[in-house]
Amino acid sequence: MEPRAQFAVSADGYDRFMGRYSEPLAPLFADFAGVEAGTRVLDVGCGPGALTTELARRLGATGVSAIDPAEHFVERCRARVPEADVQRAAAEELPFENGTFDTALSQLVVSFMRDADTGVTEMRRVVRPGGAVAACMWADGEMEMLGVFWGAASTVDSAGRDADLRMRYRKREELEGLLERAGLEEIRAERLRVESEYEGFDDFWDALRTAAGPIGSFYAELDGDQRARLRDECRSRLGNPQGSFTLTAAAWAVCGRAGDAA
């Protein structure tokens, strides 16, 4: 499925599914990228605005620009950070001049770009010489929610296992290679850890039913019996929780410096 089509879910649905993780991840990622007061930054693939909101808190909204190809996410991000420059655009064609920003960041996005190499090269183009480009994705095997779902999915339909295995840029070396190919220098990496609390199993399941990305696409293709089996298998893999519970997640973050040559 076309990557953009995988995100044809409501902003509220996305927040229930992934916002509960991306919001606590945002300050850790901004710290890692070295975002400082007085700089100008770009959020590439802003979604409903988790990272954009954190950047605006640190820098003031007028120092923040953001793009996303999904109009409904752009509208939600604008509502959250009305003074920021939020535009509908793709990472592969950023609507900014060379050297516009001090830092360009992409949180949980590069795996879903049509062409990640072009997207990161564009991020490098729009930062000034010496500026930073940073990206992060959930680390392979270290995001409990994804592990529970895809493990359960593989018992219902083998396509579930295949969909998970096809996901790129979930390993440190893949992300480092992405930045290296874009010509970035002094590349460093760090594992960022977050957690999310669920009120109960229904909270977990309801979030998955409105999920974006490969999970949402996989779920949409199942029939009623398969969905019921998937629900039961997820509950079992979580230990049949009777109350609230917490799941953890770790993301690999990489950051590189743009050299003098644009």
Instruction: Determine the average pLDDT of the residues in 193-202.
Output: 97
Helix axis angle, 144-156 to 213-220, nearest 10°: 30
Structural domain boundaries enclosing 11: 3-257
In a domain, 168, yes or no: yes
Strand order in the sheet with 64-68: 85-88, 64-68, 41-44, 101-107, 127-143, 245-257, 185-198
In a domain, 173, yes or no: yes
Q: Give the N- to C-terminal CA distance of the chain in Å, as an integer.
A: 34
Per cent of the chain over pLDDT 90 is 82
Q: How does pLDDT run across 61-96, given as a tens digit for each residue?
A: 999 999 999 999 999 999 999 999 999 999 999 999
Q: What is the pLDDT of residue 2?
A: 45
Judge whether residue 7 has pLDDT over 60: no
Whether residue 132 contacts residue 256, with contact meaning beta carbons closer than 8 Å, is answered with yes
> Which CATH number characterizes residue 213's domain?
3.40.50.150
Residue in 100, 109, 149 with CA at minimum distance from that of residue 247: 149
Q: For the chain, how many structural domains are there in total?
A: 1
Q: What is the mean pLDDT of the chain?
A: 92
CA distance 189 to 187: 7
Q: What is the pLDDT of residue 166?
A: 67
Q: How does pLDDT run across 92-106, given as a tens digit for each residue?
A: 999 999 999 999 999
Q: What is the pLDDT of residue 165?
A: 57
Q: What is the pLDDT of residue 135?
A: 98
- Confidence band for 10, pLDDT divided at 50, 70 and 90: confident
CA distance 105 to 91: 11
Q: What is the pTM of this model?
A: 0.93
Whether residue 88 contacts residue 71, with contact meaning beta carbons closer than 8 Å, is answered with yes
Judge whether residue 210 has pLDDT over 70: yes
In a domain, 262, yes or no: no
In a domain, 92, yes or no: yes
Q: What is the pLDDT of residue 125?
A: 98
In a domain, 108, yes or no: yes
Residue in 52, 3, 44 with CA at minimum distance from that of residue 27: 52
* Phi and psi at residue 181, to the nearest 5°: -65, -25
In a domain, 126, yes or no: yes
Lowest mean pLDDT among 148-162, 217-231, 235-249: 148-162
Q: What is the pLDDT of residue 235?
A: 97
In a domain, 77, yes or no: yes
Q: How far is CA 133 from the centre of its chain?
A: 15
